[in-house]
Structure 1
Amino acid sequence: MHLSYCTNVHPAEDLAGIVTQLDTYAVPVRERLESDVLGLGLWLAAPVAAELAADQDARRRLRRELDARGLEVVTLNGFPYSAFQAPVVKHAVYHPDWTTRERLTYTLDLARVLADLMPDDAARGSISTLPLAWREPWDAERADAAYRNLDELARGLAGIAATTGRTIRVAFEPEPGCVIENTTQAAGLLSGVDTEWLGVCLDLAHLACAWEDPAAALGRLRAAGLQVVKVQLSAALEAADPVAARDVLASYAEPRFLHQTRSAFDVAADDLDEALERGLPGPWRVHYHVPLHAEPVAPLTSTAPVLQAAVRELLAGPEPACDHFDVETYTWGVLPPEQRPQDAAGLAAGIAAEMAFARSLLATEVAR
């Protein structure tokens, strides 16, 4: 199994900046973990992905930079297209979506890059992507355009495999508010895709926000013939009593990211501000990725128990249901001030603590 942390927590969007962030964050994380090799779930914005896809020498140079620092890449995060750490992201992260050629081109660029970045002994690579589109607008015409692009994506991945000998699979990530919000919708809307190349990215914070039972969710995907290509190890905010926790919840409301909020009673809001204004019935789960190893501000808790239950289900049986696990906490910079790292060293320490938590969790479940 491969364990990595996702670099979409860092803002760099050009090749020089990406190499700099390896030294600023990734190497200190590896050293804190006392690991010979650290996995990265690399995020490449569309312009740098296009630059690398067009230049094999540049890809080889980046691979050498990774190798020299004891870093390896078997998975890429292809969900954000660009500007993921901009002052305001919100709904922009869902554009361009899978109805567009831009999304197809970006994803195939990533696959070409990953084929040259993967370690020689890696069995396969993975790319996570958005779950088709935000739910509005969505109609038959947009759906047809998306499925045509998915067919072309599968053909493109097959062509890359034939040319390079490297298998790259793309994983669609159910997320609250999107066309595919949960595993029920994934099983229905992805039932006709080419499952040799396309599958599901199971983000465990999103799974929790959908109030899904991990065992039932995995059973649903298996019954639909969909592979879990990638797992994002993440935990969401939970408020057992949103009224009592209102002031603390308000401290997590912020302008950069969308924090979809879901009540256990199937009532939804598209952002935490909206949920607070409307007063949804509790308990709530909020799409706000919180550090895996640390509890949020009391009386809030995290959905870490859902994370642990899901990992247990994924690793039960003679073979794991997935072999790519990526820690994705991209919200470090917007946490309430008392929980926010104050400098680069503080962020590296926080990421290392999350990775240590994830490594211990995986080891414990493998040993069962």
Structure 2
Amino acid sequence: MAELTYCSNIHPGEHWADVMHNLDSHALEVKAQLNSSAPFPLGLRIAQQAALEADAQAIAEFRAWCEQHNCYLLTINGFPYGTFHNRRVKENVYLPDWRTSDRVDYSKRLGDLAVKLEPRAKRISISTVPIAFKPAFDETAEHEWEIACANVREVAEHYYQLYQQTGVFLVLSLEPEPMCVLETTDEAIGFFKRLRLPERLRQHVGLCFDCCHQAVEFEDAQECLQRLIDEEIPIGKVQVSSALKATGDEITKLLNFDEPVYLHQAVAHCPQSGRLHRFTDLSDFKNALQQGQRFDECRVHFHIPIFLEHLGECGTTQDFLRTLLPLLDKDTPLEVETYSFAAIPEHLRTDTVSASIARELLWVKALLH
């Protein structure tokens, strides 16, 4: 079975001390609930501040901790640069984007850190933003594309040099997301053609395939996976996540999930035109409904625990996971990512965070077995 972990971005904390605290207080509890003697893979969210604080002593302590607890680093989430919990994040989560040197430096730093944290690894994926937030990016301006592509190539070259020096293969994994420059499978494929990587760098840049995001886009799981395979675009990892889905009278219930921290992009199908309408956040979708627009189905970017098929108020895109996961190559790392646990309505938080994570991991194991 594929290597399976969860993303620690569900736990608050921007400092290296927070990373270690979350391992001690949550990761070990999850590992214990899985009741397995096998080595436990880790999916670490490492913010910019934590990456700066991870000096030689911190790295040595992490490696000793892993040795003591039979754990190892599988993947890094390098998407959120700064604060990710307990205050407004929304579209700021994409900053700095791939037009900036800050995003380049951060991604290089994570690569340097990865090969030190897990020097015996054969391959580590590092997920990152899908170029930029679409409303803030001029897609008609060629110079913006040139800057973004040059910056991605620079990080790929850095990862290639690290591989030559250490033998640890790093994959910068761009994560398509609704309302971003890379949103659909078509846009992802188009970007890789524009990127024009030399042969030696091609496997160092791939995609982080987030199931919630592609389900929100109304994409077919089998079809989009096959297209990426046909285009030979590497999948650095798959984030196992589930979105909100509603039809008919359930659609207005989606507005109950509007909250002030995260961006909840909505994609809705209009039965009259047959077109998909995209909304930056649930508040925009609410305005459309109030203005009389009608849709027969809507999906919302809100990471719901993956073991939930229906929430009582509306459904989920769990069926996307049921289709996709058995089709994946067994070497593709899997990372459950339900970071919005604290933001979901309280009646859906029936377990502790650690218990809910363990239940999600067990759900995946049961599906794949």
- TM-score, normalised relative to structure 1: 0.91
1:290 aligned onto 2:295: no
Aligned mates of 2:360, 2:250 — CA distance in 1: 29
Aligned mates of 1:38, 1:155 — CA distance in 2: 30
Specify every segment of 5 or more residues in structure 2 that has no aligned partner in the other structure, as ranges: 270-274
- Is contact 2:308-2:318 (8 Å) kept? no
Query: Partner of 2:43: helix, strand, or coil?
Result: strand
Aligned mates of 1:222, 1:150 — CA distance in 2: 21
Give the match for residue 351 of structure 1: 357
Query: Partner of 2:202: helix, strand, or coil?
Result: coil
Letter in 1 for 2:341: W
- Is contact 1:19-1:65 (8 Å) kept? no
Aligned mates of 1:244, 1:230 — CA distance in 2: 33
Give the match for residue 337 of structure 1: 346
- Is contact 2:251-2:297 (8 Å) kept? no
Give the match for residue 123 of structure 1: 122
- Is contact 2:16-2:49 (8 Å) kept? no
Summarize the alignment of residues 208-227 of structure 1 with structure 2, pairs less than 5 Å apart.
Answer: 208-227=215-234
Aligned mates of 2:260, 2:105 — CA distance in 1: 30
Query: Partner of 1:299: helix, strand, or coil?
Result: coil
Give the match for residue 80 of structure 2: 80
Query: Partner of 2:328: helix, strand, or coil?
Result: helix
Give the match for residue 49 of structure 2: 47
CA offsets per residue over residues 288-311 of structure 1, 9 Å max, x none? 010011245313111011111111
Letter in 1 for 2:143: E
Letter in 1 for 2:282: L
1:35 aligned onto 2:33: no
Letter in 2 for 1:109: R
Query: Partner of 1:226: helix, strand, or coil?
Result: coil
Query: Partner of 1:267: helix, strand, or coil?
Result: strand
Give the match for residue 325 of structure 1: 334
Summarize the alignment of residues 50-65 of structure 1 with structure 2, pairs less than 5 Å apart.
Answer: 50-52=52-54, 55-65=55-65
Cα separation, partners in 2 of 1:124 and 1:92, compared to 1, 3 Å: same
Cα separation, partners in 2 of 1:296 and 1:89, compared to 1, 3 Å: farther
RMSD, aligned CA: 1.6
Letter in 2 for 1:13: E
1:158 aligned onto 2:164: no
- Is contact 1:99-1:145 (8 Å) kept? yes
Give the match for residue 272 of structure 2: none
CA offsets per residue over residues 217-268 of structure 1, 9 Å max, x none? 1222123221111100001000012x4442x322211000001001133111
Letter in 1 for 2:361: M
Which range moves more in the overlay, 16-25 or 202-211? Answer: 16-25
Specify every segment of 5 or more residues in structure 1 that has no aligned partner in the other structure, as ranges: none
- Is contact 1:214-1:313 (8 Å) kept? no
Query: Partner of 2:31: helix, strand, or coil?
Result: helix
Identity %: 32
Letter in 1 for 2:124: G
Aligned mates of 1:161, 1:93 — CA distance in 2: 29
Aligned mates of 2:233, 2:326 — CA distance in 1: 19
Letter in 2 for 1:17: D
Summarize the alignment of residues 245-260 of structure 1 with structure 2, pairs less than 5 Å apart.
Answer: 245-246=251-252, 248-260=253-265
CA offsets per residue over residues 268-303 of structure 1, 9 Å max, x none? 111112112212513011100100112453131110
Q: How many residues align?
A: 350
1:311 aligned onto 2:325: yes
Give the match for residue 202 of structure 2: 195
Misfit runs of 4+, over 3 Å? none
C-alpha deviation, 1:137, in angstroms? 2.4
Aligned mates of 1:286, 1:302 — CA distance in 2: 9
Aligned mates of 1:81, 1:210 — CA distance in 2: 25
Give the match for residue 114 of structure 1: 114
Query: Partner of 2:276: helix, strand, or coil?
Result: coil
2:286 to 257, 273, 276: 276
- Is contact 1:237-1:290 (8 Å) kept? yes
